[in-house]
Amino acid sequence: MVTRRSFIRQAGLAAAGVGLSQVVGLDAFGAASYNRIMGANGKVNLACIGIGNRGGSIAMDLDKTGLANIVAICDVDMGAKHTLEVMNKYPNAKRFKDFREMFDKMGNEIEAVSIGTPDHSHFAISMMAIKLGKHIYVEKPMARTFHEAELMMQAARKYPKVVTQVGNQGHSEANYFQFKAWKDAGIIKDVTKMVAHMNSPRRWHGWDPKISKMPAAQPIPQGLDWDTWLTSAPYHEYNEKYHYGDWRCWYDFGMGALGDWGAHIIDTAHEFLDLGLPYEVNPIKLEGHNDYFFPMSSTLQFRFPKRRKMPAMDIMWYDGVNNQPPLPEGYGVSELDPNIPTVAGGKLQSSNLNPGKIIYSDDLIFKGGTHGSTLSIIPEQKAKDMASKLPTVPASTSNHFANFLLACMGKEKTRSPFEVFGPMSQVFSLGVMAQRLNSPLKFDRETKTITNNKFADAMLTGLPPRKGWEEFYKI
């Protein structure tokens, strides 16, 4: 069995230039996963890391497919109110507070993991899992920093038999198949601009943007393993403003509205228009800018160059309740996808403009929502004129959760693996850097460096991990 101790030893050898397969052989790294040996009743033996709120929903959605056998649950706040539903539903699953201990004690019983934890902790958990040969379903935005996403993609290439899937669920729903079909048929072509917007109040708070220091220390709630919650992030004293979803608002822990909702709105355009990385990111508007948490409103411009026969293209991102984009003539009604999953705080609150996108090409304008919402051509008369030219759109063979588990069984390929989602996660990290620095960034796509700001270029890597977490950054 590969334990945490051997993981650390092997990571150290790898850092010294010795390949892991040379040290222990591939069979030592999760032989069950590599040989596609399924758990009880032909199901995938699954460990769920992060079982409160959204993480709990992920665990239950994976279970609903009938393809998973949940053998372990892990949460740093195990027993807290928001974890009880999953604990009660799976009483026979072994329980842990620390994912490292979980892998130590029952690594050979686990074939795959779901990771529904805060953004800053996705990296360490994923890196340990992938090196141990465990298939990974990780909630978006995959990683918090540019460098972390880069390392995760490198690890996925090093261990190609490990299945990876990032949790932008719409990538297995109607919009995914429609966008691809319309692109292949030449309906979506010559796109020069896309507007992506998330203006719901659900991701905003009442904190004072004139903040001058991090929140004061508070007593750590009984039962919470705060040190493990932090993982590799710089140490912060506990404060309730970091916990229960509020972590998303802080630069040190989350990716803001962009990392949260961009994954559900920009994803199909990013993949099928082959956008890759931008050459420039410009903060157009930042209301309530400060050094600690995300602005109350942001408008960002991402500039992408020509790609083969596709013209240069901009993505404009709008977030903030009172920061809605201009709408084209004939836009019509803003619709909300009924399939948006329930999250901490309940269903998405309505706003004048629901989350979505507007895509501008030379000939056509498209509007769409978030997650799996399909596109429509606007204005309505133009849609009627084009109706006979639209191709048949195939139905999805599996939702995002089943797609992952079927891929673990070798029956499908995941639709949002690290290689597909990783560059988009890096786009988000560049946007977050522009928000944090309130400065334009010029990016060299070949060398993956920022050329106009040395401090920003250093931020691509970020601060060194806390002591004891260095091994997770070694491949």
Q: What local confidence, expressed as pLDDT, does residue 9 receive?
A: 52
Same domain, 102 and 199: no
Same domain, 132 and 267: no
Residues of the chain with pLDDT under 50: 1-4, 7, 10-37, 344-345
CATH number of residue 128's parent domain: 3.40.50.720
Same domain, 15 and 66: yes
Three-class SS of 369-395: CCCCCCCEEECHHHHHHHHHHCCCCCC
Alpha carbons 44 and 394: distance in angstroms, whole number? 27
pTM value? 0.91
Residue with tokens 């990783």: 422
Q: Do the domain assignments include residue 243?
A: yes
Same domain, 186 and 154: no
Q: Do the domain assignments include residue 403?
A: no
Parent domain of 96: 4-170+410-417+464-473
Q: How many domains does the chain have?
A: 2
Same domain, 323 and 371: yes
Within 267-335, strands assigned E span 280-287, 297-304, 313-319
> How many CB atoms are located within 10 Å of the residue 268 CB?
26
Q: What local confidence, expressed as pLDDT, does residue 351 receive?
A: 65
The model's pLDDT over 87-137, given as tens digits with 9 standing for 90+, comes to 999 999 999 999 999 999 999 999 999 999 999 999 999 999 999 999 999
Same domain, 48 and 185: no
Say if residue 37 is exposed, middle or buried (CB neighbours under 10 Å; 0-12, 13-18, 19+): exposed
Same domain, 115 and 245: no
Same domain, 336 and 366: yes
